[in-house]
């Protein structure tokens, strides 16, 4: 197969650490820029549009993730399949999988737009969003979901690029989109005073730009990796493989998101000061996810390609290195957040009550980020070996059922935000116990056999 693009990387040969790190760094930098522009979004809204607007935007993360999570999981499942065919040099299946994934992304984007636009008010009321924040929240979400197709396709196309070893191209396009979003935030919110509508509009425009740039990049590739708009259609076999891997991952993401929405609904009962403080901390916490996400994506691609090539021992070593790297880096960020929490939260809003809530959340959860990294890291390994259902069941039990039950029971006896803050490290640690047991039982030789699919 002719592969004229140097950014595509065959991870089945060469030093493991170099491949993993060189793949993870662009993903980390891209997520860093994305986190910066999401954080900047909240800072601009909090400074120019007030506390109620900040509460509406800052509390948006859980609902947006819930609505996007399932579809993002489907694209992650596609990445597992595409990386297998790429690593195994199977051009026919690779081409079919890429075009099936693109068709699936288009369908999912349309569905998410319809669902988000129709059901946002009902979901926000179910989350017990305060009446003074509700109109702004509805406005923000409806504009955001109007651009869902761009968001879903961006994730679809970047998933394809990363599956074939190219993590640098998504970085370049994300930087461009992030700078565009920041500029539009300043104009729409700071100059035109459009408030949450301006912030949502800036996000939508940047996401659409990212999707268009990624699509163009794929269309310029040569060989089986090239995206041809006329060939975008469903292949039954590849669709089945993608959904077999993607649906459990999507459900896993949805389970986490639903649990977090339940948590957010409890946060909302404490009023807009607590909503704003908790939302500000959530933005700060996002920085701890940067190495976790980067190495999770690196592991899934690395393991997928190497198992596709039948190199199970190499895949095992890459998974172990990725999990340990994510844990060390996430915990380092956690220590920094613990120490700098008052200054970080104050960037969003200088109300003392808002700052106090954010600092308390940070100093309860931040030192346990190593457990969060371990859970996500082993989850990525499981996806790479084709065991996507194990993370789904583990997250369902620990991050959904246990977390919600703990908060529900404890809030009846101790109505305090500390109940919510402690729920996260508790459930992270519980899931780690299950994940370690599952990790030690992986049959790497069996996972590398072609009959896996």
Question: Residue 234: pLDDT above 90?
Answer: yes
Sign of CA dihedral 34, 35, 40, 46: positive
From residue 317, alpha-carbon distances to 220, 322, 323 in Å are 34, 9, 10
Q: State the pLDDT at residue 216.
A: 93
Report the pLDDT averaged over residues 223-228: 91
Instruction: Compute how many other C-beta atoms are within 10 angstroms of the C-beta atom of residue 115.
Output: 14
266 neighbors 411 (Cβ within 8 angstroms):
yes
What dihedral angle (degrees, nearest 10) is formed by the CA atoms of 12, 15, 17, 23? -50
Q: State the pLDDT at residue 430.
A: 95
Question: Residue 68: pLDDT above 80?
Answer: no
CA–CA distance, 36 with 29 (Å, rounded to integer): 10
Q: State the pLDDT at residue 65.
A: 67
Q: State the pLDDT at residue 58.
A: 63
Highest mean pLDDT among 131-140, 166-175, 199-208, 425-434: 425-434
Least confident of 125-134, 270-279, 370-379, 410-419: 125-134
Report the pLDDT averaged over residues 9-19: 88
CA–CA distance, 6 with 313 (Å, rounded to integer): 26
In the chain, pLDDT over 70 holds for what percent of residues?
92
Mean pLDDT over each residue of the chain, to the nearest integer: 85
Q: State the pLDDT at residue 67.
A: 67
CA–CA distance, 259 with 404 (Å, rounded to integer): 6
What dihedral angle (degrees, nearest 10) is formed by the CA atoms of 205, 208, 210, 212? -140
9 neighbors 166 (Cβ within 8 angstroms):
yes
Highest mean pLDDT among 11-25, 146-160, 321-335, 385-399: 321-335
CA–CA distance, 156 with 68 (Å, rounded to integer): 12
Q: State the pLDDT at residue 354.
A: 87
Report the pLDDT averaged over residues 47-70: 68
Question: Residue 423: pLDDT above 80?
Answer: yes
164 neighbors 6 (Cβ within 8 angstroms):
no
Question: Residue 130: pLDDT above 70?
Answer: yes
State pLDDT tens for residues 88-121.
888 999 999 999 999 999 998 998 899 888 888 8
445 pLDDT band, cuts 50/70/90, is: confident
In the chain, pLDDT over 90 holds for what percent of residues?
34
Answer with the residue of higher pLDDT: 254 or 291.
291
CA–CA distance, 134 with 60 (Å, rounded to integer): 11
160 pLDDT band, cuts 50/70/90, is: very high
Q: State the pLDDT at residue 328.
A: 95
Q: State the pLDDT at residue 402.
A: 92
Answer with the residue of higher pLDDT: 134 or 379.
379
Q: State the pLDDT at residue 151.
A: 87
Answer with the residue of higher pLDDT: 385 or 370.
370
Report the pLDDT averaged over residues 416-442: 93
Spatial CA neighbour of 65 closest among 297, 284, 252 = 252
31 neighbors 294 (Cβ within 8 angstroms):
yes
Report the pLDDT averaged over residues 282-301: 87
Q: State the pLDDT at residue 1.
A: 40
4 pLDDT band, cuts 50/70/90, is: very low
Least confident of 8-17, 233-242, 428-437, 442-451: 442-451
> Terminal CA-to-CA distance of the chain, rounded, Å?
23
From residue 47, alpha-carbon distances to 52, 138, 299, 355 in Å are 11, 20, 39, 14
What are the residues whose beta carbons fall under 8 Å from the beta carbon of 26, sequence distance 6 or more?
167, 168, 170, 171
Question: Residue 7: pLDDT above 70?
Answer: no
Question: Residue 453: pLDDT above 50?
Answer: no
Domain residue ranges of the chain, discontinuous segments joined by +: 16-452
318 neighbors 22 (Cβ within 8 angstroms):
no
């Amino acid at each position: 197969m002719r592969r004229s693009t140097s950014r595509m990387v065959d991870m089945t040969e060469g030093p493991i650490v170099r491949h993993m790190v060189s793949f993870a760094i662009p993903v980390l930098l891209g997520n860093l820029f994305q986190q910066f522009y999401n954080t900047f979004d909240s800072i601009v809204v909090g400074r120019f549009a007030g506390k109620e607007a900040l509460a509406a935007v800052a509390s948006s993360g859980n609902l947006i993730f819930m609505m996007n999570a399932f579809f993002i999981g489907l694209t992650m499942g596609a990445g597992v399949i595409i990386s297998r065919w790429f690593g195994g040099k199977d051009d026919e299946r690779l081409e079919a999988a890429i075009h099936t994934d693109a068709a699936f992304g288009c369908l999912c984007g349309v569905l998410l737009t319809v669902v988000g636009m129709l059901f946002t008010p009902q979901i926000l009321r179910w989350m017990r969003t305060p009446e003074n924040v509700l109109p702004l929240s509805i406005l923000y979400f409806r504009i955001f979901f109007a651009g869902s197709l761009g968001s879903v396709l961006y994730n679809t196309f970047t998933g394809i690029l990363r599956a074939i070893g190219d993590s640098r191209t998504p970085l370049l396009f994300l930087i461009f989109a992030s700078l565009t979003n920041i500029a539009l935030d300043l104009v729409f919110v700071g100059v035109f005073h459009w408030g949450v509508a301006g912030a949502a509009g800036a996000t939508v425009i940047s996401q659409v730009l990212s999707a268009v740039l990624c699509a163009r990049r794929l269309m310029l590739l040569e060989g089986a990796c090239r995206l041809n708009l006329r060939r975008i259609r469903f292949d039954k076999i590849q669709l089945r493989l993608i959904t077999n891997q993607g649906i459990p991952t999507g459900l896993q993401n949805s389970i986490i998101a639903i649990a977090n929405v339940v948590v957010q609904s409890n946060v909302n009962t404490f009023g807009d000061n607590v909503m704003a403080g908790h939302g500000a901390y959530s933005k700060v916490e996002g920085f701890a996810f940067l190495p976790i996400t980067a190495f999770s994506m690196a592991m899934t691609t690395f393991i997928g390609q190497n198992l596709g090539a039948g190199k199970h021992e190499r895949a095992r070593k890459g998974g172990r290195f990725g999990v340990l790297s994510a844990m060390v880096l996430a915990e380092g960020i956690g220590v920094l957040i613990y120490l700098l929490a008052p200054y970080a939260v104050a960037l969003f809003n200088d109300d003392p009550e808002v700052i106090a809530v954010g600092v308390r959340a940070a100093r309860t959860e931040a030192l346990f980020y190593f457990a969060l990294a371990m859970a996500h890291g082993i989850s990525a390994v499981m996806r790479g070996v084709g065991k996507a259902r194990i993370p789904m069941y583990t997250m369902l039990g620990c991050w959904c059922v246990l977390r919600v039950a703990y908060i529900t029971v404890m809030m009846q006896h101790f109505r305090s935000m500390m109940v919510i803050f402690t729920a996260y490290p508790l459930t992270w640690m519980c899931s780690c116990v299950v994940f370690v047991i599952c990790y030690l039982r992986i049959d790497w030789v069996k996972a590398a056999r072609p009959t896996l699919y």
